[in-house]
Amino acid sequence: MGKAKNLQTGHVGLNVTDLARSLAFYREVFDFEVLAEGKDSDRRWAFLGRGSQLQVTLWEQSGGAFTTDLPGLHHLSFQVDSIEEVRATEEVLRGLGAGFSYDGVVPHGENGASGGIFFTDPDGIRLEIYAPTGADPADAPTSGAPTCGFF
């Protein structure tokens, strides 16, 4: 058999502590549709996406908060077409009281054109929304290293 050909990322599954809270957050920030949902008291989950494409699954099966000091997910990143979309999402996040790692749009590297915003969801999961071009070339928050790796 051998190696998988034409491999693509399918969807990302996230453990959350409060499905209703996370569902509201991900729908508001990412404009996801609920494609399917489990509402049994001991098995709560939601499949989120756009159209028929599944992108994120939420599973209410954890307690506490996301920790960055253990192996596992570092951050989840979403690409949009323009820096204006990044800034519009930033405004939505500010209205929701989301926590940001950096102030506003930052470049991915020193004087880079790609850049985005880095923030957390209600459980502290680190997220990024970026555009491949349009970031103001400037000093990156972490010199000599990718910004997205050190937040």
The predicted-structure confidence for 64-78, as pLDDT tens digits, reads as follows 989 988 899 999 999
pLDDT above 70 (res 2): no
| Burial class of residue 114, CB neighbours in 10 A (0-12, 13-18, 19+) | middle
Q: Which pLDDT does position 145 carry in this prediction?
A: 79
| DSSP track, 103-130 | SS-EESSTT-S-EEEEEE-TT--EEEEE
How many angstroms separate the Cα of 101 from the Cα of each of 15, 33, 126, 148?
A: 21, 27, 9, 10
pLDDT above 90 (res 143): no
- Residue-averaged pLDDT of the chain: 92
Q: Does the global pTM surpass 0.85?
A: yes
Q: Which pLDDT does position 1 carry in this prediction?
A: 58
Summarize pLDDT for 76-100 with one digit per residue, the tens: 999 999 999 999 999 999 999 999 9
